[in-house]
Homo-oligomer: A and B are copies of this chain.
Amino acid sequence: MAQDDLQLMRDLVDNQPDGFALPRHFYTSQDVYEHDIKAYWNHSWIWVGHVSQIPNPGDYFLFDYAKESIIVVRDREGEVRAHMNVCRHRGSRVCTEKQGNARVFSCPYHAWTFDLSGKLRGGRAMGPDFDPSKYGLFPAQIRIFEGLIFVCASEDAPPIDAGLSELQTHAAPFDFANVKVAHEASYPVPANWKLALENYMECYHCAPSHKEYSRSHSLKDPAEMEGLLEPLQERSCAIGLKTEEVNQTGTDSAGPAADVYWRRYPLFEGYQTGSKDGQPLAPLLGTLTGFDGGATDMQIGPLNNFLIYADHVVGYRFVPTSLQETDIQIVWYVRGDAEEGIDYNKDDLTWLWHVTSLDDERIIRHNQEGVNSHRFEPGPLSDMEWGILTFYHSYLAMI
């Protein structure tokens, strides 16, 4: 890792003009990328899954990003825990299956064995002075918000708890704790993770790039949306939802990367949910009593974004795999007791965000191609791109 590259990065951070995109260096330097992972991702809350994926003691799954791997497991006492998937002996992955049920985690190299809480059980041939209590798996932090599992690889995680409490009253009627995974999909894009995230943070591109989304979602046109807000709020109240916005992002957040955001916005007339024909896709979530024709943008930390309809939830994350490779990972959740083929059709459910993600892959890819040019100069952001600035707020503070 060259100090030159990091020094250049720091100079650019100091001189970043407000209201402009970031310079090329942030998207093209291997050193900046590795620093991103160490300084930003390892210190951020990352949404990794849902409690319904690990109902029983010993159930686990792995979540990987960059070169990191985290084991998320339900322990003997029923508590969900997260461990860094790195043996404390010589560093092998201790768990190599993506998901399963384990009694213990026994390293496949030299059989150092850890219990579900991460404690090392002795150490073969390690001599009399060896103290196993010093060599448990490194823990990752855990937060569970309405069944959604978040982890942070470091000890100083962003102060998200107050924000989560704020969101909780809004989220309660949807009862996320009792949803289930209907589908998961991954859209790899040859671009830096920040370009993928920035794409999600603004709807300035929706009108030109997403014709299916723009047909039904008013967010693409702030002026038009404005006129539809009041009628929506009446309908939302009627089905049991709170209508206030939560916007603790950027400078208004409790700390860098502790952003929380909640806003319900109108679909166009004739659309009850994010479906092709406007008709419902799945049973109503939680305690909702009907469709209000709205959709909620929920953000928990800059890295975790959710779109909440009355009958399903779509979660997004933008997982870096290398400097210019990012996995756009999407999970569709429906009511926990909904049955595929009876209560919902998977192709219909996933149609909108599948076609939209294919568009996004294309435009993010072309964005990276242009940013790679030596002649790229960051331009001014539009009024509709304020979300990018809230992301920069934490990014520039943490790196």
Q: Which residues of A contact B (CB under 8 A)?
A: 1-5, 8, 21, 24, 29, 37-38, 42, 67-69, 84-94, 96, 106-111, 123-127, 130, 135, 138, 153, 198, 204-205, 207-209, 222, 362-363, 366-367, 369-384
Contacts and interface: CB of A to CB of B under 8 A. Distances in A.
Contacts of A108: 208-209, 362-363, 366
Given A96-B366, A109-B209, A111-B208, A379 B135 contact: yes
B125 A92 contact: no
Given A1-B5, A126-B380, 15 more contacts: A2-B5, A21-B89, A24-B91, A84-B375, A89-B380, A89-B382, A91-B371, A92-B367, A96-B366, A108-B362, A108-B363, A109-B209, A110-B209, A125-B384, A127-B383
Nearest to A388: B90
Nearest to A30: B30
A367 B109 contact: yes
Given A86-B376, A125-B383, A208 B109 contact: yes
Nearest to A90: B21
For the complex of A and B, the 4 pairs showing the least CB-CB separation, nearest first, are A111-B208, A67-B372, A91-B371, A91-B370
B374 A67 contact: yes
A162 B1 CA distance: 42
Contacts of A375: 42, 68, 84, 86, 138, 153
Nearest to A373: B86
A379 B87 contact: yes
Contacts of A125: 204, 222, 382-384
13 contacts: A21-B91, A67-B369, A84-B373, A85-B370, A86-B373, A87-B370, A91-B378, A93-B367, A109-B205, A111-B208, A126-B380, A130-B380, A153-B374
A372 B86 CA distance: 9
A366 B109 contact: yes
Contact of A3 (B4, B37, B110, B374): B4
Contacts of A84: 373, 375
B382 A126 contact: yes
Contacts of A207: 111
Contacts of A381: 90
A1 B198 CA distance: 25
A277 B127 CA distance: 35
Contacts of A135: 379
A375 B139 CA distance: 10
Nearest to A64: B369
A142 B198 CA distance: 35
B68 A374 contact: yes
Contacts of A380: 89, 126, 130
A299 to B, nearest CB: 21
Contact of A374 (B42, B107, B377): B42
A217 to B, nearest CB: 17
A379 B204 contact: no
Contacts of A90: 21, 198, 367, 371, 378-379, 381
